[in-house]
Amino acid sequence: MSIDILGNFLTIIRNGIARSKSSVTAPYSSLKHELALILLEEGFITGVEVAHENDVVNKQLKIFLKYVNNESVIHEITRVSKPSRRVYAGIGNIKPVIGGLGVSVLTTNKGLLTDKTAKKMRVGGEIICTVW
């Protein structure tokens, strides 16, 4: 049995949005941190903070959620590629999310990238999630 750490991370964000929380915390991993930085760069969240209580083992990732007129900026965040079914896309197969309003996040040999950046860099990879 494997644990889907990215699926759990996305669920933590989804649950925080459903409860209208200002921030959520999740266990730290470098992959989650990179994903949070992409969400910050794309304007879906207001901040990311790595909180650790004097030891490296119990690092926490604090995500500050973004709301406009009491409505979340993130309308939907879904996991595309799962441990049971990986979804890969080549350069020509990367589809825009909601006509370009949302983003797909891909893991490539260049690191985590959005669909637009991956097209510019001409790389494909595993589609982790979509956000809009």
Domains and CATH numbers, the chain: 5-72 (3.30.1370.30), 77-131 (3.30.1490.10)
- Burial 20-55, CB ≥16 within 10 A → b, else e: eeeebebebeeebbebbebbbeeebbeebeeeeeee
- Percent of the chain clearing pLDDT 90 (strictly above): 81
Contact yes or no for 34/42 (Cβ under 8 A): no
Indicate the pTM of the whole model.
0.91
The confidence score (pLDDT) of residue 95 equals 87
The confidence score (pLDDT) of residue 52 equals 78
- The residue ranges of the chain whose pLDDT is under 50 are none
The confidence score (pLDDT) of residue 3 equals 86
The confidence score (pLDDT) of residue 56 equals 67
The confidence score (pLDDT) of residue 73 equals 96
Rounded Cα–Cα distance for residues 35 and 13 (Å): 12
What is the residue type of 54? N
The confidence score (pLDDT) of residue 62 equals 96
For residue 123, count CB atoms less than 10 angstroms from its CB and return exposed for 0-12, middle for 13-18, buried for 19 or more: middle
Q: Which residues pair with 72 in a beta bridge?
A: 67
Beta strands in 14-123 (DSSP E): 23-27, 45-51, 60-65, 67-68, 71-72, 77-79, 88-89, 103-108, 111-114
The confidence score (pLDDT) of residue 121 equals 95
The confidence score (pLDDT) of residue 123 equals 96
φ, ψ at 70 (rounded to 5°): 60, 20
